[in-house]
Each structure stands twice: as structure tokens, then as C-alpha cells.
């Protein structure tokens, strides 16, 4: 079998539609009689709702309906727990989920109080001003440490505490490790990840056909199958009565998988009641509070090392900002907890976190999903240790790498897929070597940097390593079908938000069936086309759905060869499948087109043999036993203006290993995009909440996404250590670029300004010119070194 497409930088099938403005995005859905919704959102973070008076809004011309929680009645239920907590012994978990429209209490700014349905979005927004809300404002819980103090206000009064969860995981014996250490270092770290802020916000369109008793929902969700199942359950419909379509989606990055958002829950209910289609498009201002965030953690972390820099153990106690509700369980802090271990041998680990309820928007995974926080802690601890022990920062990492013959490597603690964390494969040293070579590490440190310093320029270098758990289950499925015209149609349950599934999956099928990649049509995100699946998240699309597509394509290939061998009365080994036909090896004139075979597989007469199915198609599923671990090293040379503390990235290198690569061009694009978001996280994007839980910078003018002038040209390289956990050997890559950029910036800026020598340490992200200035003014460290 030739592999003409797999592994090649094949140009994308989906581009033409997107480039010519013909791709259907959610706001492009236009239906006859369609109405428009707008939500009245709380301006305050914590309040008791005394009254909501919608009468004036109902009087406004063009307004069709206004609903509050009261109108929803029994439909207004707290949502389910989407991701149960992992089976960690001794875990404390207090579930509190959100309702579609606020009932009795508002717990974060942005929580919806009412929904208006009108002839246009313009009129709907006019009507929002008509609604009179009487709130009794309560103190807002914003600070993580204050939230845990005695007699503090509770976000959930009935709970009596702001503890959403408490998890402790250990391996080995940290106390003994620390007792035997030549050096222990303890620091407090603060890491804040920002919001996904895709260029397309969220949206929902719901259409109810009363006669067919069928609901169609267009939704920018990353998980259409789950949304379909949840909606059917909530509305009292059979799953077959609900179709969820995720059209082209303008960027997902994680928060578009949270469900059911209030708008996802209410719009279908409204469509049934009004018997007219209803559309809601989130505007940018709403997005800042209406779509989930990732936010901050405070870590008090300690590392114990031997004199040669080997890690003996790590102890970490951290607080995690959960937001007002926790439908998504503990994915983010568990990832922080597990990813902290990185590519290193950490014999003893004691990690404890408290997830804290706050009066702020819900926190759910955003590209990296908590890994950033853990990676920041370990990478900074290693940098500080390197400085103390007078070991080069790259060298201290090398000394701690898990050796290549130690895989699968058991890290014991429980990961987000509920299994003990096990790294399936990896070979870390060559990745570091390539990165050091590409950035010119040795020469920079020995020659370039001293030269630049002599010229009065502050230029520094940073290196950061990480391991990323990817490709977790539960499973995905795919159906591959050869059509009568010889083209191949593929459907899978996940959605697509720009990752190139229409091409990468086509490559897999094209090679198996000997057709051109442009002759493979992929459908994702339509629950009528494929019934089962989980969704795009946790860097799993290529791994899990990709393997399902591969299994299905192979099954179809087998069928095609069997049909052809029956037709030619020859052995299957004598056949070749290429250019859309099956032919006998060496006798190209003897061939049958695939389309013809498909037709023969659905005969009008004769018998379909027992044990076979009609058609040239197959549906297969793939569920990995556990996630596979990708890894990478980022290196950067950054110049800092020593007076204004503005930065300029002079060179940026990524070396990455995600196993077998399906499409290197698409992979590089994912890395570029991830790094750009990482740069935003490290130095530009900061959510500024005040003490009342109000977001002060809810606009793109003040929430700073990096532009083409902030993101540098990157040099990429990769190594290939296939995963033994799936037939294709692939590992996920979607989040990789975003993960280590924070510690990279901290290290390079410290290096550029020689801050460690001045006893100034950068222990927080995001940074900014003003923040760096402030930290230098404060001088030294305030908190305890011991």
C-alpha cells in the first residue's frame, strides 16, 4: 500500500470555501421567520434577586417574548456534572452547577437574568434596557485566600464553605526526600491563564418542526453529540428527534465545549414554545463574561534536590480559581497537578490543591487546560535551583530527563482520564539537543550575550521543557463509505474549528483506498451523519478520531479487495488498489473502479452472503487504553528595553515530538497558533477584575491579543517517537505550542536584565513592562526563602 498522502504537507480541502467567504458559520444561518435573542446579564458578581420586572420589555414593539427563570419553571434545573472527579482517594468534591437563567441568586457578573426574543437583535437589545431588576448586592468573593478564611461570604450559601474540591496525590515519600536533600527551595508562584477569545464568538440557532417533532440546533460547540444527548434529555425528546450541527466554527480552543451553556439550554426550549426559529449570537462584550475562562492558581511549591541538580522530590500546595460553578469537574487543576512532573524523574511528589468557588465566571479548559500552571512551577523551580547550584539551566533539565529506555514510565498519580499517569513513549534528550542547537545556545551564552551587554543591550535566553498528555479516550468513531461515483464519504462525531480535519482525515482514507485526497469528503459535527462521539478537546482529534477513521478505511479496503478478488477469481495478494480502482498486479487493463465495486456491493438481485453487509462501507470505533504523551522544548532569545521594559522576541524555536505526523503543514500551523496564544498569556493578556468581581477590561481594546507585530517568526523542528497506544502511532499536538511560554518569558527576561543577580525573581504570569518595572522597584523577594 502506498502512503502518498499520509505524512505529506497536503494542502487543505476546506480552504476554497473559507477563502471565498462561502463557508457556513453560525451567524450565516438564515431561516424564514427567524427571531433573535439577547440576554440580560447581571452587572454585579453576587446578589440575591428580589425581583425581575419584564413588563415594559414585553410592551416594546417588535418584542415577541421575554423569559426569566420563573417562566422556565421545572425546565430551570442545575446542569449535570460533565466530568466526574477522578478516583483519587480522600477526594473532597462539592458539586454546584449553573442553571440556564439565574434563580434567586446571581453568582458572577454576566450570569443571565432574562432572555428577550424579538424581531431583530437591535430591538432585543433595546428591550434589555426596559427590564427592571431589583438586586440585593452581596459581598463578592474574588480573592482565593480570602475565600477560605473564616466568616467569609460563601458563593454557595448552602455549602457553608467556598471549597469546591480538595485533592491530594502523592507518590514516594517527600519528607524523606527533603530530609536527604542538599538543597531545598520554596517559592510562591502565581499563574493566570487568560481567555480563549476566538475571533468568532459563540452562537446558537434552534429550529423546531412541530409537525415532524424534530429539533435542529446549529451550535458553535466542540461536542455536538453530547449536546444532542443532553438537549434531548432536557427537552423530553428522543435522541433521534434532535439534530445538532456544528457548522464551520471560528476557533474553539476549549471553552466552546462547555455545555450546556444557558443559551444552548434555553433557545431550543424557546423555539418549541414560539414555534419559530430563534438565533442568538454572542457579541464580543458578552463573550468576556458569558463564555468560560481559564484563570489563576497560587502555588506554594518546594523542590528538594541533590547537589548535582537531580530532583529528589517536589511538594506543592495550590489554590485553584474555579469560578462560581463547577460543571466541568477538576480537569484543569488535575492537569496542573500531573503536568508539573514534566519530562523529569520526580521520585517523590506530594501535591495538594483546593479548588475554590469565586464569584467569577466558570473556569473550564482553554488550550493547555491547566498544564501551563504546572509547567510554570517546575520550570521556574529548576531555574532557581540551577542558579543556586551553579548549573546551566539546560543542563539541569537534561540531568533530570526520564531516560529513553524507561518507557512506559509510570508516574502513578491519577490523570484526567482517570487512569494512573503513564507516559507511553518518549525520547527527550534529542529534542533538547535540537532546540539548543537551533537557538545557538552555547554560542549565545559564551559570545553573543556578553557582546550585546557590552553594547548596552539587555538580551536574554530561555529554555523550557514540557510533557503533554494527549489523545485520551473515551473513544471516537468514523464511517467510511465508497459511493457509486467512486468518491469516498467519511463521517465522524467530532467537530472542527480549524484543525484541518477535512484534510488530515482525508489523507488517511486516501492512502488506504488508493483515491485522491480531494475525492474524500469529510463530514464532522453533524449528529445526523454520525451518531456517536465525544468531541474535540485535550488534543485528541487526530489521535482518537484519526485512528477510528483509519480503522474504518482499512475495513473498507479489505471489503474492496475481497469483492474484487471474488470478481477476478484471484487472490487478494495479487491485487493493487490505486487511482480509484482495484487491478491485478502487473495487468493494469484488468481493473474495476471502486465506485463500480460499491454498486456491486448493493445488488438488486442475487444474495448478499451471510456474515457480510451490503455496500462498500464500514463504521469503526477507537478508544485508547490511556492518553499518549507528547513532549517539546521551546527556546527563545528576548531583548528587553532596560528603561521601558518593553520586549522584542529576537528568535523563537520549538522542537516537538507528537509521534507519527499525519500532515506536517497542519501540525506546524497548530504549533504557530499555540505559541501565539502562549505569548499572549505570558506578556499581554490579563483579565483585570476589581474587588467587586467586575471585569474592567471587557473589550479587545484592553484585553490584548497578540498581533502580527508581537508574534515572531518561529523555527520549528520535530522528532518522532511513535505512540504504542494506537495503530497510527500518533500523539496529539493541538495544545503544545501554548504550554511552556510563560516560564520561557520569565527565564529570558530574568536573564536579559540579570535579575537573579539582583535577587529579583519573576514568579508570576502574566508579566508586562509595567509589572516587571514594579517587581524591580520592590526589589528582592518579599516572601520567605525557607
Residues 28-47 that bind another protein (CB under 8 A): 28, 30
Rule CB under 8 A: choose which of 420, 588, 707, 720 binds another protein.
707
Looking at 74-82, 574-582, 708-716, 719-727, which segment touches another protein (CB under 8 A)? Answer: 708-716
Q: Does 376 participate in binding another protein (rule CB under 8 A)?
A: no
**556: Cα separation from own chain's centroid:** 32
Which grid cell is 143? Answer: 480573592
CA gap 330, 164 in Å, rounded: 9
Q: Does 495 participate in binding another protein (rule CB under 8 A)?
A: no
CA gap 280, 267 in Å, rounded: 8
Question: Closer to another protein at the Cβ: 393 or 734?
Answer: 734
CA gap 588, 565 in Å, rounded: 15
CA gap 457, 639 in Å, rounded: 7
Asked whether the beta carbons of 278 and 147 are under 8 A apart, the reply is no
In angstroms, what is the minimal distance from the CB of 248 to another protein? Answer: 7
Which grid cell is 96? Answer: 454546584
Q: Does 762 participate in binding another protein (rule CB under 8 A)?
A: no
The CA-atom distances, in angstroms, between 509 and each of 7, 23, 473, 669, 688 are 13, 23, 22, 22, 47
Question: Closer to another protein at the Cβ: 706 or 740?
Answer: 706
CA gap 747, 614 in Å, rounded: 61
Q: Which residues contact 614 (CB under 8 A, 6 or more apart)?
A: 601, 602, 608
Rule CB under 8 A: choose which of 704, 717, 756, 781 binds another protein.
704
Q: Which residues in 520-594 belong to E strands, given as ranges? A: 520-524, 575-578, 581-584, 587-593
In angstroms, what is the minimal distance from the CB of 28 to another protein? Answer: 4
Question: Closer to another protein at the Cβ: 545 or 594?
Answer: 545
Short-list 376, 315, 338, 300, CA closest to 145 = 300
> Phi, psi (5° rounding) for residue 242?
-120, 130
Rule CB under 8 A: choose which of 49, 278, 714, 744 binds another protein.
714
Question: Closer to another protein at the Cβ: 17 or 558?
Answer: 17
Question: Closer to another protein at the Cβ: 122 or 612?
Answer: 122
Q: Does 706 participate in binding another protein (rule CB under 8 A)?
A: yes
Question: Closer to another protein at the Cβ: 309 or 734?
Answer: 734
In angstroms, what is the minimal distance from the CB of 706 to another protein? Answer: 8
User: Residue for cell digits 507528537?
Assistant: 658
Looking at 243-251, 410-418, 552-560, 582-590, which segment touches another protein (CB under 8 A)? Answer: 243-251
Short-list 279, 292, 283, CA closest to 219 = 279
In angstroms, what is the minimal distance from the CB of 697 to another protein? Answer: 5
In angstroms, what is the minimal distance from the CB of 647 to another protein? Answer: 11
Asked whether the beta carbons of 79 and 265 are under 8 A apart, the reply is yes
Rule CB under 8 A: choose which of 5, 6, 27, 298 binds another protein.
27
In angstroms, what is the minimal distance from the CB of 655 to another protein? Answer: 16
Short-list 159, 163, 167, 160, CA closest to 85 = 167
CA gap 696, 640 in Å, rounded: 28
CB atoms closer than 10 angstroms to residue 145: 10
Q: Does 19 participate in binding another protein (rule CB under 8 A)?
A: yes
First to last CA, the chain: 62
Rule CB under 8 A: choose which of 55, 59, 602, 699 binds another protein.
699
Q: Does 284 participate in binding another protein (rule CB under 8 A)?
A: yes
Rule CB under 8 A: choose which of 429, 516, 710, 717 binds another protein.
710
User: Residue for cell digits 461570604?
Assistant: 153
Region 665-684 residues binding another protein, contact defined as CB under 8 A: 665-666, 668-669, 671-677, 684
CB atoms closer than 10 angstroms to residue 167: 24
Q: Where is 422: in which H helix or E strand? A: strand 420-423
Q: Does 190 participate in binding another protein (rule CB under 8 A)?
A: no
> Phi, psi (5° rounding) for residue 167?
-135, 130
Q: Does 201 participate in binding another protein (rule CB under 8 A)?
A: yes
Task: Number of residues interacting with another protein: please give it, by CB under 8 A.
Answer: 80
Q: Does 268 participate in binding another protein (rule CB under 8 A)?
A: no
Question: Closer to another protein at the Cβ: 607 or 643?
Answer: 643
Which grid cell is 546? Answer: 484519526
User: Residue for cell digits 466552546?
Assistant: 256
* One-character DSSP codes across 74-115: GG--PPPPSSPPP--TT-EE------SS--SEE-STT-EEEE
In angstroms, what is the minimal distance from the CB of 686 to another protein? Answer: 8
* One-character DSSP codes across 593-619: EHHHHHHHTS-SSS-PPTT--SSSEEE
Helices first, then strands: H and E counts in the chain:
21, 30
Decide the pairing of beta strands 311-323 and 348-357.
parallel
Question: Closer to another protein at the Cβ: 20 or 150?
Answer: 20
In angstroms, what is the minimal distance from the CB of 247 to another protein? Answer: 11
Question: Closer to another protein at the Cβ: 312 or 666?
Answer: 666
Asked whether the beta carbons of 568 and 497 are under 8 A apart, the reply is no
Q: Does 366 participate in binding another protein (rule CB under 8 A)?
A: no
Rule CB under 8 A: choose which of 224, 250, 309, 473 binds another protein.
250
Looking at residue 524, the DSSP 8-state letter turns out to be E
Question: Closer to another protein at the Cβ: 54 or 670?
Answer: 670
Region 636-665 residues binding another protein, contact defined as CB under 8 A: 643-644, 646, 665
Rule CB under 8 A: choose which of 702, 754, 779, 783 binds another protein.
702
Asked whether the beta carbons of 274 and 117 are under 8 A apart, the reply is yes
CA gap 117, 66 in Å, rounded: 6
Q: Does 393 participate in binding another protein (rule CB under 8 A)?
A: no
In angstroms, what is the minimal distance from the CB of 354 to another protein? Answer: 28
| CA–CA–CA angle 37, 41, 46 (5° rounding) | 160
Q: Does 742 participate in binding another protein (rule CB under 8 A)?
A: no
Question: Closer to another protein at the Cβ: 546 or 624?
Answer: 546
Q: Does 758 participate in binding another protein (rule CB under 8 A)?
A: no
Which grid cell is 449? Answer: 550575550
Rule CB under 8 A: choose which of 2, 275, 612, 770 binds another protein.
770
Asked whether the beta carbons of 125 and 285 are under 8 A apart, the reply is no
Region 531-570 residues binding another protein, contact defined as CB under 8 A: none
Looking at 51-59, 249-257, 385-393, 536-544, which segment touches another protein (CB under 8 A)? Answer: 249-257
Region 496-525 residues binding another protein, contact defined as CB under 8 A: 497-500
In angstroms, what is the minimal distance from the CB of 664 to another protein? Answer: 10
In angstroms, what is the minimal distance from the CB of 295 to another protein? Answer: 16
Question: Closer to another protein at the Cβ: 590 or 672?
Answer: 672
Q: Does 764 participate in binding another protein (rule CB under 8 A)?
A: no
Short-list 154, 722, 241, CA closest to 231 = 241
Rule CB under 8 A: choose which of 4, 7, 18, 239 binds another protein.
18
Side-chain-side CA neighbours of residue 371 (13 Å)? 29
Mask: binding to another protein, 454-493, rule CB under 8 A, as x and -?
----------------------------------------
Q: Does 150 participate in binding another protein (rule CB under 8 A)?
A: no
Question: Closer to another protein at the Cβ: 5 or 248?
Answer: 248
Short-list 286, 237, 350, CA closest to 110 = 286
Mask: binding to another protein, 107-136, rule CB under 8 A, as x and -?
--------------xx--xx--x-------
Question: Closer to another protein at the Cβ: 20 or 390?
Answer: 20
Q: Does 51 participate in binding another protein (rule CB under 8 A)?
A: no
Amino acid at each position: 500500500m502506498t502512503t502518498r498522502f499520509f505524512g505529506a504537507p497536503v494542502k487543505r480541502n476546506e480552504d476554497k470555501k473559507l477563502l471565498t467567504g462561502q463557508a457556513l458559520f453560525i451567524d450565516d444561518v438564515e431561516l424564514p421567520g427567524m427571531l433573535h435573542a439577547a440576554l440580560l446579564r447581571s452587572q454585579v458578581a453576587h446578589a440575591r434577586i428580589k425581583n425581575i420586572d419584564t413588563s415594559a420589555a414585553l410592551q416594546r414593539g417588535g418584542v415577541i417574548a421575554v423569559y426569566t427563570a420563573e417562566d422556565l419553571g421545572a425546565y430551570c434545573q442545575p446542569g449535570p456534572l460533565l466530568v466526574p472527579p477522578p478516583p483519587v482517594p480522600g477526594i473532597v468534591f462539592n458539586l454546584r452547577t449553573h442553571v440556564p437563567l439565574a434563580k434567586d441568586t446571581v453568582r458572577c457578573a454576566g450570569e443571565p437574568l432574562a432572555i428577550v426574543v424579538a424581531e431583530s437583535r437591535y430591538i432585543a437589545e433595546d428591550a434589555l434596557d426596559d427590564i427592571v431588576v431589583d438586586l440585593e448586592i452581596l459581598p463578592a468573593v474574588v480573592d482565593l485566600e480570602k475565600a477560605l478564611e473564616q466568616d467569609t461570604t460563601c458563593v454557595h450559601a448552602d455549602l457553608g464553605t467556598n471549597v469546591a474540591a480538595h485533592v491530594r496525590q502523592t507518590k514516594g515519600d517527600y519528607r524523606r526526600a527533603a530530609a536527604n536533600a542538599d538543597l531545598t527551595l520554596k517559592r510562591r508562584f502565581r499563574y493566570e491563564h487568560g481567555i480563549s477569545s476566538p475571533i468568532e464568538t459563540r452562537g446558537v440557532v434552534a429550529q423546531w418542526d412541530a409537525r415532524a417533532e424534530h429539533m435542529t440546533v446549529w451550535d458553535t460547540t466542540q461536542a455536538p453529540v453530547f449536546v444532542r444527548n443532553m438537549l434531548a434529555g432536557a427537552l423530553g425528546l428522543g435522541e433521534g428527534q434532535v439534530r445538532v450541527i456544528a457548522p464551520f466554527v471560528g476557533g474553539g480552543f476549549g471553552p466552546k465545549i462547555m455545555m450546556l451553556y444557558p443559551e444552548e439550554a434555553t433557545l431550543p426550549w424557546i423555539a418549541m414554545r414560539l414555534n419559530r426559529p430563534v438565533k442568538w449570537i454572542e457579541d464580543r462584550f458578552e463573550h468576556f463574561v458569558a463564555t468560560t475562562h481559564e484563570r489563576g492558581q497560587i502555588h506554594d511549591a518546594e523542590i528538594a534536590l541533590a547537589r548535582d541538580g537531580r530532583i529528589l522530590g517536589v511538594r506543592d500546595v495550590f489554590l485553584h480559581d474555579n469560578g462560581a460553578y463547577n460543571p466541568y469537574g477538576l480537569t484543569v487543576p488535575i492537569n496542573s497537578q500531573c503536568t508539573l512532573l514534566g519530562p523529569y524523574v520526580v521520585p517523590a511528589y506530594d501535591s495538594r490543591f483546593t479548588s475554590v468557588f469565586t464569584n467569577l465566571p466558570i473556569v473550564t479548559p482553554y488550550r493547555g487546560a491547566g498544564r501551563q500552571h504546572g509547567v510554570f512551577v517546575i520550570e521556574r523551580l529548576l531555574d532557581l535551583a540551577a542558579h543556586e547550584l551553579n548549573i546551566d539551566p539546560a543542563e539541569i533539565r537534561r540531568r533530570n530527563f526520564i531516560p529513553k529506555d524507561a518507557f512506559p514510565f509510570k508516574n502513578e498519580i491519577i490523570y484526567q482520564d482517570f487512569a494512573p499517569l503513564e507516559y507511553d513513549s518518549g525520547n527527550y534528550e534529542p529534542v533538547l539537543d535540537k532546540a539548543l542547537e537551533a537557538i545557538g545556545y552555547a554560542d549565545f551564552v559564551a559570545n553573543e550575550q556578553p557582546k550585546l551587554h557590552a553594547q548596552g543591550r539587555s538580551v536574554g535566553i530561555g529554555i523550557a521543557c514540557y510533557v503533554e498528555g494527549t489523545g485520551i479516550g473515551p473513544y471516537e468513531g468514523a464511517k467510511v463509505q465508497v459511493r457509486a461515483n467512486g468518491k469516498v464519504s467519511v463521517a465522524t462525531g467530532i467537530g472542527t474549528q480549524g484543525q484541518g480535519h477535512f484534510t488530515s482525515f482525508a489523507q488517511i482514507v486516501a492512502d488506504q483506498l488508493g483515491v485522491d485526497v480531494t475525492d474524500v469528503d469529510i463530514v464532522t459535527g453533524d449528529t445526523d451523519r454520525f451518531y456517536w462521539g465525544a468531541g474535540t478537546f485535550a488534543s485528541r482529534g487526530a489521535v482518537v478520531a484519526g485512528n477510528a477513521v483509519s480503522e474504518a478505511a482499512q475495513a473498507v479496503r479489505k471489503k474492496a479487495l475481497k469483492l474484487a478478488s471474488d470478481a477476478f477469481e484471484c487472490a487478494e495478494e495479487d491485487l493493487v488498489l490505486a487511482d480509484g480502482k482495484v487491478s491485478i498486479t502487473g495487468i493494469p487493463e484488468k481493473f474495476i473502479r471502486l465506485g463500480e465495486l460499491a454498486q456491486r456491493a448493493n445488488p438488486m438481485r442475487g444474495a448478499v452472503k451471510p456474515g457480510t453487509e451490503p455496500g462498500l462501507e464500514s463504521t469503526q470505533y477507537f478508544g485508547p487504553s490511556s492518553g499518549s504523551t507528547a513532549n517539546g522544548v521551546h527556546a527563545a532569545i528576548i531583548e528587553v528595553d532596560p528603561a521601558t521594559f518593553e520586549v522584542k522576541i529576537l528568535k523563537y524555536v520549538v522542537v516537538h515530538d507528537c509521534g507519527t505526523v499525519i500532515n506536517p503543514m497542519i501540525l506546524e500551523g497548530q504549533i504557530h497558533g499555540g505559541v501565539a496564544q502562549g505569548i499572549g498569556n505570558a506578556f499581554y493578556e490579563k483579565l483585570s477584575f476589581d474587588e467587586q468581581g467586575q471585569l474592567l477590561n471587557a473589550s479587545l481594546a484592553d484585553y490584548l491579543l497578540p498581533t502580527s507585530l508581537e508574534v515572531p517568526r518561529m523555527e520549528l523542528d520535530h522528532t518522532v517517537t511513535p505512540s504504542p497506544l494506537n495503530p497510527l502511532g500518533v500523539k496529539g499536538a493541538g495544545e503544545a505550542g501554548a504550554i511552556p511560554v510563560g516560564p520561557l518569558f520569565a527565564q529570558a527576561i530574568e536573564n536579559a536584565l540579570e535579575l537573579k543577580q539582583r535577587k529579583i525573581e519573576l514568579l508570576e504570569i502574566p508579566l508586562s513592562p509595567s509589572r516587571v518595572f514594579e517587581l524591580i522597584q520592590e526589589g528582592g523577594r518579599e516572601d520567605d526563602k525557607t
